[in-house]
Amino acid sequence: MAISTVPAPARDPRPLARQLGLTDDEYDRIVATLGREPSTAELGTFSVMWSEHCSYKSSKTYLRTLPTEGERILVGPGENAGVVDVGGGVAVTFKIESHNHPSFVEPFQGAATGVGGIIRDILTMGARPIALLDPLRFGDPASDTTRRIVDGVVRGIGHYGNSIGVATVGGETAFDPCYQGNPLVNVLCVGVLPADRIQLAAAEQPGDIAVLIGQRTGRDGIGGASVLASAEFRGGDGGLEDAKRPNVQVGDPFAGKLLIESCLELYDRDLLSGIQDMGAAGIACSTAEMASKAGLGMRVDLDAVPLREPSMDAWEILCSESQERMLALVSPDNLDEVLAVCARWGCQATPIGEVTADDRLVFTRGGEVVHDAPATALADEGPTCARPVADWVHPHADDDVDGEDGPTSEEELRAAALAVLAAPGIASAALVHEQYDSIVQHGTVQGPGADAAVLRLPELRGGAAAGRRGIALATDGNGRWCALDPEEGAKLVVAEAARNVACTGATPVAATNCLNFGSPERPEIMGQFRDVIEGMGEACEALGVPITGGNVSFYNQTGTTAIHPTPVLGVLGVIDDVSAAVGNAFAEAGDALFCVGAPTRPGLGGSEYLWATQRRIAGAPPRIFLDEEKALQALLVAAAAAGVLRSAHDVAAGGLLTTVVESCLRAGAPLGARIEREQALPVHQWLFSESPSRVVVTTAAAEAARLLALCDARGVHVQTLGVVTDDAALEVLGALRLDLAEVAVAHRDGLALALGEPGR
């Protein structure tokens, strides 16, 4: 039977194009590109590849301004994940992604497949995934909707990560009413690989065979990430849109584990020419991106694709986001060995097409061409939207919160302290992270509860040896700061993530970002985005942490209510000897207690104190001076290397009081602290200010002079706070005394009680 070279056009293609989210201008571009009306399959692939999620059409102009190069960067933006050289022939790859909208529609599977998707991004680079961090943001904890979403998301993360055997070692759990209809489920994964064995998602040679490895293709997840992440929700408080449930992918972590081991053996044997995860947009995306990077084409027989549901149409097969699938390119000489390796691991592998010398992406079904379009048009020539931009001004940004009177008695100050320490975003998140396996693979040196996770790198198949070398990872975000001032807020977020890494003694070297915003069709949202990118770029440049990749999540909006602009930064640091990593728990009574870094400045704008005591978001966020921050981080790394520090914990949400209390509570034995207040500021400002570039450190009394000398040599301000004690109380001389046994209960139970659960 003769094969048609021109696919049949879709029935009523323009209305269908609108239904799929394409604008009339975009449809006209497709017609001009093809020289004819598109087929249904072509409309499907263009709609997902040109969606906001896949093409970054509203954001890519701004993203190009971010710093992306550094001496350790082996692979930057444009691949599945960034790759960083950590020395000794070893590299690590890491990236953060979002699965926000699917996690609202179906919390368990949305979160689970978010974990699975980012693990495969790391696997695609040639790495063994070794750890996960999960920054989470939810709405009002008193809401039944929030409680249902928290339960489903946490169970989904634990189910997938625990079952597949990748440790969950950190993250954040925050609450704010703005996330009521749009929870944020961001997931970071890191993996390790030989520095000379990076896998790239590009075709290399015409005639190479395209092999689909992994699960069968089904209707679950059709347009999942691309559709759900490119449209806002219409409902109100917690109203599920049941029609969107089929768009949420369904994961199988046990199949994912087999996929990991199959791919790692294929890499070790050097059997692949290229590989790409089938994430957003499925086969359409993986084939288009791999072909376009090489200026080549691909021809795929959709009848060869293993299906769970044989009645699927061509466009459904192309756009399905069914999980645990990879597309590998294999030389014909290696095909039999590739199939044998996968079979030995019980992982299905099926040849479905081949690389061609032209630039066409051709798909056939039933012997007929159903799709014939240039690969570059799909992957590289998507629209760029010059969205209208308006300056964003928060209605309460000019409130003088730092000039307001605070508590006037010790009892009022004590009540404020307990309110902050029991706030759901400050209180212990143990009821969340205890559901995660944080030690599987035996590389976790510091896990949940640390300022940054610290991981010992494993020995690698193929000869590269990590020795004692390790990495530190932290994720941070603060939507309240960025709502009040997007540019300054973004600087603060970058600095905090890098500072948390430096607190462990690791040198921050690279970053990945997850940018969560409302609808880009609103000029003020694009104003927030523009300013966040400006602040982020300035801070990353100043602190030496170039962006290696990431994710933009727009349309986090229900009706006219958008989330706070919420950039989340993941920062990677390198440490030569993980046995020397510094923790954040006080070590021993009698240790000297200092606050190093910038002097404490008024800084209650957007603070946890304002929210916990007054339910207000107001004032300007604290201002950061990046030269002070850089000097502080360098001091922390040097002091750790010199063996001077017994502990280090940064001052962030909740202020100095929260930092000291957490270090007391995390000590192995009951320890307290006796500190002298700074007289230049009102006591509530000094205790609750979130002004940046400050770290509370301890050192053995005999080493205090060495620490002070290091600070003096580097021009870093230092304030003597007091001493660690063994009486299980925090005493602020002349102002406040807290019984840490009582505080421990409030801190331990705060999140559970906020979620309506009994105390622990």
Q: Which residues are catalytic?
A: 53, 99
- Among 366, 179, 349, 193, which residue's Cα sits nearest to residue 262? 349
Distance, in Å, from the CA atom of 232 to the CA atom of 223, rounded to the nearest integer, reads: 15
Say if residues 76 and 68 touch (Cβ distance below 8 Å).
yes
Count of residues for the chain?
760
Distance, in Å, from the CA atom of 482 to the CA atom of 562, rounded to the nearest integer, reads: 13
For the chain, the distance separating the N- and C-terminal CA atoms, rounded to the nearest angstrom, is: 71
Looking only at Cα atoms, what is the longest distance across the chain? 93
Kindly report the CA angle at 581 between 579 and 583, in degrees rounded to 5?
Answer: 125
If one counts every other C-beta atom within 10 angstroms of the C-beta of residue 60, the result is 13
> Tokens for 403?
């000039």
Burial, 381: exposed, middle or buried (Cβ in 10 Å; 0-12, 13-18, 19+)? Answer: middle
Residue 236: left if φ>0, alpha if ψ -120 to 50, beta else—which one? beta
Helices and strands (DSSP H and E) totals, the chain: 25, 28
Distance, in Å, from the CA atom of 69 to the CA atom of 82, rounded to the nearest integer, reads: 11
- Among 635, 650, 626, 629, which residue's Cα sits nearest to residue 476? 650
For 123-135, give one letter per residue: b (16+ CB within 10 A) or e. bbbbbbbbbbbbb
Distance, in Å, from the CA atom of 512 to the CA atom of 505, rounded to the nearest integer, reads: 20
- Among 356, 213, 359, 199, which residue's Cα sits nearest to residue 273? 199
DSSP code at position 438: -
Say which residue the tokens 């917690």 belong to: 238
> Tokens for 262?
């199959």
Those residues with Cβ within 8 angstroms of residue 207's Cβ, 6 or more apart along the chain or in another chain: 331, 332, 354, 355
Distance, in Å, from the CA atom of 245 to the CA atom of 484, rounded to the nearest integer, reads: 35
Beta strands in 310-389 (DSSP E): 325-330, 349-356, 360-365, 368-374
Residue 213: half-sphere exposure toward Cβ, Cα within 13 Å: 37
Say which residue the tokens 């679950």 belong to: 220
If one counts every other C-beta atom within 10 angstroms of the C-beta of residue 525, the result is 25
If one counts every other C-beta atom within 10 angstroms of the C-beta of residue 712, the result is 10
CA distances from 421 to 294, 425, 689, 742 (A): 55, 9, 14, 11
Beta strands in 417-504 (DSSP E): 444-446, 453-456, 470-477
Distance, in Å, from the CA atom of 121 to the CA atom of 311, rounded to the nearest integer, reads: 30
Rg of the chain over all Cα atoms, to the nearest angstrom? 26
Distance, in Å, from the CA atom of 258 to the CA atom of 348, rounded to the nearest integer, reads: 10
Question: Which residues, in sequence order, are bridge partners of residue 363?
Answer: 300, 371
